């Protein structure tokens, strides 16, 4: 039931959403059982940036209606220590490694991508373009023109497949996907979390100045609550582009995974729902019909 994706041969069509599974921490919790029953056909790392980031102050989590609002703030060791400390561990996983990177300028992104290009342990790169532009404050991925421009600049630095993780916080995600394709993306993945907010609970309504619950102020909504929004975005994107699409957003069952493939996703990613059961993706992969017609059709296209 192998699936070919950007030249990679994957055991099945289910991967993880970046930042929703830490294989190294999971090894500490589940031991070798994790490697014996590794749920993902490819492992996507948490977003890596050039410089280390501590992430946002707590609280970082808010539980919403059938969803989760997080403001983790992309904590990571930074490129250098990721390469020296994490890569050897991740290379031992029984699945190809996709490294997710983010930068706020073309130069930063190029440096990240170049570093990934140099390491054989990395099979492909996923570029997170949900990074706020320093000038406009908008995600650099929200403006099709700017996105294509950045990609054209950085694409030559990578000989491996480039997946662009689109931002859902835009007016026309399909247009952004088209721009990514024009810019040289080999695939696009979506959706990332949607901008959300929560206020600290107040017992009764005390006069106390209301304050945001999340240490980061605002956060991103994920999980079951966003599935119908994600399905609409994935369908719109798959209609517009010819490159493969990685669909995600609230996938919590094999039926959900099929829906995303039915609207044109080649791969699906499980994110928040893994928090309810880390082995969920494994169950989905096993239950999925090996050659799922719509998925295959688009892949062989």
Ligand X SMILES: Cc1cc2nc3c(=O)[nH]c(=O)nc-3n(C[C@H](O)[C@H](O)[C@H](O)COP(=O)(O)O)c2cc1C
Show which residues are catalytic: 131
Please, which of residues 66-85 interact with another protein by CB under 8 A? 66-68, 70, 72, 75
Which one among 279, 287, 291, 297 touches another protein, defined by CB under 8 A?
Answer: 279
Tell me which residue of 285, 244, 278 sits closest to 25, measured CA to CA.
Answer: 278
Place of tokens 């490694």: 97
Tell the burial category of 12 from Cβ atoms under 10 Å away from its Cβ (0-12, 13-18, 19+): buried
Beta-sheet pairing, 122-128 with 267-270: unpaired
Binding mask 180-219 for ligand FAD (x = CB under 6 A): ---------------------x------------------
Could you say whether residue 58 binds another protein (CB under 8 A)? yes
Give the β-pairing of 219-222 and 194-196: antiparallel
The footprint of ligand FAD on residues 49-78 (CB under 6 A) is: 61-63
Q: Note whether 194 binds its own copies by CB under 8 A.
A: yes
Binds 225, which of ligand X, its own copies, ligand FAD, none (CB < 5 to 8 A, cut-off by type)? its own copies
Nearest to residue 52, comparing CAs of 18, 82, 22, 76? 76
Interacting partner of 185 out of another protein, its own copies, ligand FAD, none (Cβ under 5 to 8 A depending on kind) = none
Residue 28 is a binding residue for another protein (CB under 8 A): yes
Distance CA 253, CA 274 (A): 11
245 has which bridge partners?
Answer: 188
Dist. CA 19–CA 193, nearest whole Å: 11
User: What is the rounded (10 degree) CA torsion for 259, 260, 261, 264?
Assistant: 120
Q: Which of 18, 56, 167, 254 binds ligand X (CB under 6 A)?
A: 18
- Which residues in 111-140 contact its own copies (CB under 8 A)? 137-139
Backbone angles phi, psi at 216, to 5 degrees: -85, 5
Residue of minimal Cβ distance to ligand FAD = 63
> Which tokens in the block code for residue 28?
């500490």
The single residue listed with the structure tokens 């582009």 is: 241
- Where along the sequence are the contacts to ligand X (CB under 6 A)? 17-20, 46-47, 68, 70, 72, 74, 100, 128, 165, 191-193, 222-223, 226, 248-251, 270-273
- Where along the sequence are the contacts to another protein (CB under 8 A)? 19-22, 24-26, 28-31, 33-34, 36-37, 46, 54-55, 57-61, 63-68, 70, 72, 75, 213, 223-224, 272, 274-279, 282
- Where along the sequence are the contacts to ligand FAD (CB under 6 A)? 61-63, 201
């Amino acid at each position: 039931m192998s699936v070919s994706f950007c030249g990679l041969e994957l055991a099945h069509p289910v991967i993880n959403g970046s930042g929703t599974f830490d294989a190294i921490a999971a090894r500490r919790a589940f031991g070798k059982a994790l490697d014996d029953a590794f749920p993902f056909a490819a492992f996507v790392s948490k977003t890596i940036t050039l410089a280390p980031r501590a992430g946002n102050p707590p609280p970082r989590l808010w539980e919403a209606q059938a969803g989760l609002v997080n403001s983790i703030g992309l904590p990571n060791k930074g490129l250098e220590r990721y390469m020296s400390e994490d890569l050897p561990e991740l290379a031992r996983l029984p699945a190809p490694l996709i490294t997710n990177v983010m930068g706020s300028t073309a130069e930063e992104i190029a440096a990240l991508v170049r570093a990934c290009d140099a390491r054989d342990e990395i099979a492909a790169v996923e570029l997170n373009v949900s990074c706020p532009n320093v000038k406009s404050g908008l995600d650099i991925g929200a403006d099709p023109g700017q996105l294509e421009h950045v990609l054209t600049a950085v694409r030559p630095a990578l000989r491996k497949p480039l997946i662009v993780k689109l931002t859902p916080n835009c007016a026309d995600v399909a247009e952004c996907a088209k721009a990514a394709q024009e810019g040289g993306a080999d695939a696009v993945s979506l959706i990332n979390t949607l901008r959300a907010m929560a206020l600290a609970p107040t017992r009764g309504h005390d006069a106390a100045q209301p304050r945001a619950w999340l240490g980061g102020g605002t956060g991103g909504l994920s999980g079951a609550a966003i599935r119908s929004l994600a399905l609409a975005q994935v369908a719109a994107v798959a209609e517009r582009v010819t490159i493969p699409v990685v669909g995600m957003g609230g996938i919590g069952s094999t039926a959900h995974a099929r829906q995303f493939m039915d609207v044109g996703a080649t791969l699906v990613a499980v994110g928040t729902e893994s928090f309810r059961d880390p082995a969920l993706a494994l169950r989905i992969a096993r239950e999925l019909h090996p050659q799922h017609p719509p998925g295959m059709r688009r892949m062989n296209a």
